[in-house]
């Protein structure tokens, strides 16, 4: 069996459609049905006709990905879909052949997939797996360092056993055109996530969130280590923290996604402390029902997963205390954005 990475659109626009319909689906909507085009040459001609303005290199790239999706993926193979707007990765199993569909709007190229878990935190995956899953492609095979075997271990609830050899951050390609480029920005963020996962557990994660809120202008009260009575941080505006908005903040450092009980617990704390708004920070992300309930409480509660916290840290890094900067040493760099 193989492990494939399939993205749910450049901006994550196909993710919900994939989950709701039990599909893996890709763009390339201008390319017609691939059911009878099985060779590289046949698919190349279809892609060249659809994208006449593209370079030969881009057409070869597109054709290779389309052939992989339509004809190389097999039933029983695993599919990993990194979620665009959440720090989570969905894992599914291919259950059917390629189908060209006309009933899903501009989505035509599909495979039936049983989505096994849709909310696995990125921090559950080793840095080398995250590097491979950051390939700047819509579809590619992930096979380096026993990737498929390790993902099956994660699905069974076990920790990632890690690579059998030392991970080199920029290994050479495998000669078959797989994983040719990686999203360097996401790779850097995953390194930051790994550092935070290792060095900011439990109360230290609350301490980091507290420092971020201070940097954003709030006056805060951080609960001491130990039982927190349902709230980790109280935050308010104004010189004494008495002005509105007043925040009630709960911080969860577990890798497991927070469920609705945690969300409703925060709402109860907001009532107890007469807070206007709430912030739930969950390192492992959130289950689907939490995300749905949070949307209904859009003007009352915000959700931060590990990726949102990293965004907040980067946004406020220059204003964080020197002590925290020493615990999380970061440096800005410029990186070239690869062409498609």
Q: How much is the average pLDDT of 205-221?
A: 97
- Fold (topology level) of 3-182: ph1033 like fold (3.10.590)
For 81-110, what is each residue's pLDDT tens digit? 999 888 899 999 999 999 999 999 999 999
For 241-300, what is each residue's pLDDT tens digit? 999 999 999 999 998 899 999 999 999 999 999 999 999 999 999 998 999 999 999 999
CB 167 within 8 A of CB 127: yes
Question: Which residue do the tokens 């720090």 mark?
Answer: 87
Q: Which two tokens stand for residue 308?
A: 């949102």
Check residue 173 and give its pLDDT: 39
Task: For residues 169 and 179, give the distance between their C-alpha atoms in angstroms, rounded to a whole number.
Answer: 13
Given CA atoms 27, 31, 34, 40 in this order, what sign does their dihedral have? negative
Mark out the alpha helices in the chain (DSSP H runs): 15-21, 40-50, 56-67, 127-133, 147-155, 184-199, 203-215, 260-272, 288-296, 306-316, 322-327
Task: For residues 154 and 44, give the distance between their C-alpha atoms in angstroms, rounded to a whole number.
Answer: 37
CB 28 within 8 A of CB 9: no
Q: Is residue 178's pLDDT more than 80?
A: no
Give the H or E element holding residue 250.
Answer: strand 243-252
Nearest to 149 by CA among 2, 5, 4: 2
Q: What is the mean pLDDT of the chain?
A: 90
pLDDT > 70: percent of the chain: 93
In a 3-state reduction of DSSP, which class is residue 108? Answer: strand
According to CATH, where is 3.40.1350.10 located in the chain?
A: 198-327
pLDDT band with cut points at 50, 70 and 90 for residue 228: low
Give the H or E element holding residue 80.
Answer: strand 78-82
In a 3-state reduction of DSSP, which class is residue 78? Answer: strand
Q: Which two tokens stand for residue 258?
A: 């927070």
Task: For residues 210 and 215, give the distance between their C-alpha atoms in angstroms, rounded to a whole number.
Answer: 9
Q: Which two tokens stand for residue 12?
A: 């994550």
Given CA atoms 202, 204, 208, 211 in this order, what sign does their dihedral have? positive
Question: Which residue do the tokens 């760099």 mark?
Answer: 333
pTM over 0.95: no
Q: Is residue 175's pLDDT more than 70?
A: no
Task: For residues 54 and 51, give the distance between their C-alpha atoms in angstroms, rounded to a whole number.
Answer: 6
Enter the DSSP assignment of 8.
S
CB 257 within 8 A of CB 284: yes
Check residue 59 and give its pLDDT: 93
According to CATH, where is 3.10.590 located in the chain?
A: 3-182
Interaxial angle between packed helices 306-316 and 184-199, expressed in degrees from 0 to 180 and rounded to the nearest 10? 100
Which architecture does CATH list for 198-327? 3-Layer(aba) Sandwich (3.40)
Nearest to 147 by CA among 171, 178, 126, 120: 126
Do the strands 277-282 and 219-222 form a parallel or antiparallel pair, or are they unpaired? Answer: unpaired
Q: How much is the average pLDDT of 229-237?
A: 91
Alpha-carbon 67 to chain mean position: 26
Q: How much is the average pLDDT of 152-168?
A: 82
Check residue 95 and give its pLDDT: 97
Higher-confidence position of 48 and 169: 48
CB 145 within 8 A of CB 129: yes
Task: For residues 264 and 260, give the distance between their C-alpha atoms in angstroms, rounded to a whole number.
Answer: 6
């Amino acid at each position: 069996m193989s492990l494939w990475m399939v993205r749910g659109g450049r901006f994550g626009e196909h993710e919900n459609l994939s989950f709701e319909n039990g599909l893996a689906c890709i763009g390339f909507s201008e390319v017609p049905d691939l059911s009878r085009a099985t060779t590289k040459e046949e698919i190349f001609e279809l892609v060249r006709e659809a994208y006449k303005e593209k370079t030969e290199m881009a057409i070869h790239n597109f054709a290779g990905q389309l052939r992989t999706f339509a004809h190389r993926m097999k039933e029983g193979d695993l599919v990993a879909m990194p979620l665009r707007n959440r720090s989570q990765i969905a894992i599914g199993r291919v259950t059917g052949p390629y189908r060209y569909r006309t009933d899903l709007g501009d989505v035509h190229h599909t495979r039936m997939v049983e989505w096994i878990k849709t909310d696995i935190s990125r921090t559950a995956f080793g840095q080398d797996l995250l590097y491979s899953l950051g390939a700047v492609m819509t579809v590619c095979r992930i096979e380096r360092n026993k990737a498929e075997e390790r993902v099956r271990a994660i699905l069974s609830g076990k920790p990632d056993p890690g690579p059998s050899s030392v991970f080199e951050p920029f290994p050479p390609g495998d000669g078959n055109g797989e994983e040719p480029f990686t999203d360097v920005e996401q790779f850097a963020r995953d390194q930051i996530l790994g550092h935070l996962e290792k060095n900011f557990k439990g109360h230290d994660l609350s301490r980091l969130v507290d420092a971020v809120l201070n940097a954003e202008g709030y006056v805060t009260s951080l609960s001491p280590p130990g039982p927190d009575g349902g709230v980790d941080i109280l935050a308010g505006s104004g010189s004494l923290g008495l002005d509105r908005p007043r925040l009630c903040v709960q911080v969860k450092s577990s890798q497991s996604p927070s469920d609705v009980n945690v969300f409703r617990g925060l709402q109860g704390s907001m009532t107890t402390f007469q807070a206007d708004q709430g912030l739930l920070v969950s390192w492992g992300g959130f289950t689907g029902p939490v995300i749905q309930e949070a949307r209904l409480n859009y003007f009352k509660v915000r959700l931060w997963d590990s990726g949102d916290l990293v965004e907040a840290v980067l946004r406020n890094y220059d204003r964080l205390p020197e002590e925290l900067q020493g615990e999380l040493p970061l440096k800005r760099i410029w990186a070239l954005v690869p062409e498609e």
